[in-house]
Structure 1
Amino acid sequence: MKFLSPLMVFTACGLLAAPLFAAEQAPELTGCAAKRQDISTQIEQAKAAGNSSQQAGLEKALSEVSAHCTDAGLLKAQENKVLDAKREVSQRQADLDKAIKKGDADKINKRKDKLAESRKELQDEQAKLEQLQPDEDE
């Protein structure tokens, strides 16, 4: 009986670890495939919650993504978001420079805060763009 217990424990550990290794090896989805997967997950959640109107809306969204989404289109849209964020940072910097010239401490602090927010948004948009860009070494 003592021989059987360690064997059963070893087998159980092996069976429980298999899905973890499979999950590590699965590549992370990006672009349109990630959007489809995300919507599919939301559909399953809506089904589980019994929310048929949300489910219907999500199924329509899934069909639209399947029909019209392209990775190149997503990449272009994200590039445009990055450009918009860069313009916003430039505008906020100009606003800060004006406030500094006027010497209004209250406005300077507000402009600094706004500039910091805009820079954070730019970083976020650039990170999203990096996720969408195909790897050079593949």
Structure 2
Amino acid sequence: MKIQSFLLAAALASIPAWAAAEPVPGGTCQGKRQEISRNLDEARAKGQKQRVRGLEQALSELDAHCTDAKLQAEHRKRIQRQEQAVAARERELKEAERDGSAKKVERRKSKLQEEQAKLQQLKESKSE
């Protein structure tokens, strides 16, 4: 099972980062299947044999193991982790404010805003 998970992760990693950041239509296994198929067609058209093999493997693993419930659970976990990251940045900001360094406070505010933006994006995307 670990090998299958690794293969799926490796194959999905071959999908461009911008595609992974975009919400999959409906946040379902079917949406992921469509995205992988689209990338597979593109890779075939460009003659990218290794990428084709990886995407075919990803499609196979997706068909074998993907459930919409599992996707939703993973998305909820990502949101929880991001909420923890925001809380940690808030603590760091409070610490910096106590220390009184204006430069440090500004850096911490900036980091907090980045984490909050990531959290908002996750919440808006429903599930990927």
If the length of structure 2 is used for normalisation, what is the TM-score?
A: 0.77
Contact 1:78 1:128 (8 Å CA) reproduced: no
In the TM superposition, residue 30 of structure 1 has moved relative to its aligned partner by: 3.3
User: TM-score, with normalisation over the residues of structure 1?
Assistant: 0.72
Report the counterpart of residue 39 of structure 1 in structure 2.
Answer: 36
> Which residue in the other structure is 2:7 paired with?
none
Structure 1 runs of 4+ off > 2 angstroms? Answer: none
**Does structure 1 retain, via aligned residues, the 8 Å contact 2:27–2:71?**
no
* Greater C-alpha Rg: 1
Q: What percent of counterpart residues are identical?
A: 36
Q: 1:47 to 1:81 in 2, by over 3 A?
A: same
User: Shift in Å at residue 128 of structure 1?
Assistant: 2.0
**Structure 1, unaligned runs of 5 or more:** 1-27, 133-138
Does 2:80 match 1:83? yes
* TM-superposed deviation, 1:29: 4.4
Counterparts of 1:36 and 1:71, CA distance in 2: 12
CA distance in 2, matches of 1:54, 1:83: 32
1:30-81: CA deviations, max 9, x gaps? 3100100000001100111111111111000000001100000000000000
Aligned residues between the structures: 104
Unaligned 5+ runs, structure 2: 1-24
Matches of 1:80 and 1:108, distance apart in 2: 29
Shift of 1:108: 0.1
Root-mean-square deviation over aligned CA pairs = 1.2
Higher RCO structure (Cα 8 Å, ≥6 apart): 2
